[in-house]
């Protein structure tokens, strides 16, 4: 199947970046949809800011930025967004019921041959596919933040996903200038988050047990493991509510060894979510 028209649903942190690379690198015609005009305005503003950064660094020319923006067609109408799309990429809030509700609508409005993909980072692809009548044309397409810079995309097979769907989506990923890896089995966290979030959780246990201060734990991992940022700083950046949600899924699926650290639960209850709330393990209101 040849993909030329892509719909991106969701204009948040990930959605706007996916829409940008689909238009800029993949040169797809992109229908960019969200439910609220204010969210759309913010998403388009972030795309323009990102393209300006590429321009200032000399990575693209002005005409390339203009062409990319010209390929992005914002809309608040779901039918308009998906009815002519060859590939629909869902990238809304990480909530099972909200995603399933949207995917069920998309399934009714999209043409029968269209592929539907979810940018979920932790929810079962097989369960999301059950909201549609085309599970063989459904897969995971997990981008990493920020999509404009991060090269990896996990392509996740659901129980009923066809080989043709996987191959088509992998080619789309390459056309976007990214590197796909195939996740052969639909397991929580897929590959990267299955490794990453237990590591973040273990770093929190070091704080909880009084082994070392957050700054020293982060410095140890940066210098000893050559991570670009420490695990607690990264957890602050991602948001502790997100980390807790994913660890609770892991605990449910895999058992006690993935139990969320008590300090993580306490911080979420206290509203200390990291960067998004201004405080976490670090003070994000101070100049950094």
Catalytic residues: 121, 142, 154, 193
What is the 3-state secondary structure of 231-265? Answer: HHHHHHHHCHHHHHHHHHHHHHHHCHHHCCCHHHH
CA distance 175 to 64: 16
CA distance 222 to 206: 16
Residue 3 and residue 14 in contact, taking contact as beta carbons nearer than 8 Å: no
Q: Please provide the distance, in angstroms rounded to a whole number, between the alpha carbons at the two ends of the chain.
A: 47
Enumerate the β-bridge partners of residue 115: 87
Query: Residue with structure tokens 């789309």?
Result: 172
CA 34 to chain centre: 16
CA 159 to chain centre: 21
């Amino acid at each position: 199947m040849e993909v030329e028209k892509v719909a991106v649903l969701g204009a948040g942190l990930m959605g706007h970046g996916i829409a940008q690379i689909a238009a800029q690198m993949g040169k797809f015609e992109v229908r960019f949809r969200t439910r609220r005009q204010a969210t759309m305005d913010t998403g388009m503003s972030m795309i323009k800011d990102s393209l300006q950064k590429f321009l200032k660094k000399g990575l693209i020319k002005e005409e390339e930025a203009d062409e990319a923006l010209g390929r992005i067609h914002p809309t608040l109408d779901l039918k308009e967004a998906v009815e002519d799309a060859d590939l629909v990429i869902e990238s809304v809030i990480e909530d099972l019921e909200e995603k399933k509700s949207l995917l069920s609508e998309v399934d009714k409005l999209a043409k029968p041959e269209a592929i539907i993909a979810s940018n979920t980072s932790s929810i079962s692809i097989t369960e999301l596919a059950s909201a549609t009548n085309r599970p063989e044309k459904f897969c995971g397409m997990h981008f990493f933040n920020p999509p404009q810079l991060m090269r990896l995309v996990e392509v996740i097979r659901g129980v009923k996903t066809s080989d043709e769907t996987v191959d088509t989506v992998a080619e789309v990923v390459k056309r976007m200038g990214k590197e796909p890896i195939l996740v052969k089995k639909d397991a929580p966290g897929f590959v990267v988050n299955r490794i990453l979030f237990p590591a973040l959780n273990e770093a929190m246990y070091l704080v909880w047990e009084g082994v070392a201060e957050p700054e020293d734990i982060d410095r140890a991992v940066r210098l000893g493991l050559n991570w670009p940022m420490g695990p607690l700083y990264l957890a602050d950046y991602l948001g502790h509510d997100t980390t807790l949600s994913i660890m609770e899924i892991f605990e449910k699926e895999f058992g006690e060894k993935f139990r969320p650290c008590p300090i993580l639960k306490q911080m979420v209850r206290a509203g200390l979510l990291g960067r998004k709330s201004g405080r976490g393990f670090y003070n994000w209101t101070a100049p950094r």
